[in-house]
A = this chain, B = another copy of it.
């Protein structure tokens, strides 16, 4: 009845998500790990990311029209994606919004959740474009 083994690969995935200030996607995590551990498989990275999300240790940041990103910050917050370089960063609302069934006409649906994705231009891309 003992499940969930601790593997080297799972540790590597965890490290790759944790030791970064931004929010990498699965491919970026794979690329970072494969540098020092060339035998790791992409499938293993995806599998371990899913496990970590299931275990609540990592958050999946879904964006519109692109691959999922991953975040080890568990505090509730939102994300913004750069429309140019696609990087994802945290975003804070000064006062949290309240979107509950009281202020929405859900046309018969039972509301379960909502996700907000912000889009913008990151500082680096602003500089690049200003430099041109």
Contacts and interface: CB of A to CB of B under 8 A. Distances in A.
A118 B111 CA distance: 7
A117 B111 CA distance: 11
A53 B53 CA distance: 35
Copies held by the complex: 2
A115 to B, nearest CB: 5
Closest 3 CB pairs of A and B: A109-B120, A108-B123, A92-B105
A110 interface: yes
Interface string A32-53: 0000000000000000000000
A114 B112 CA distance: 20
A82 B106 CA distance: 11
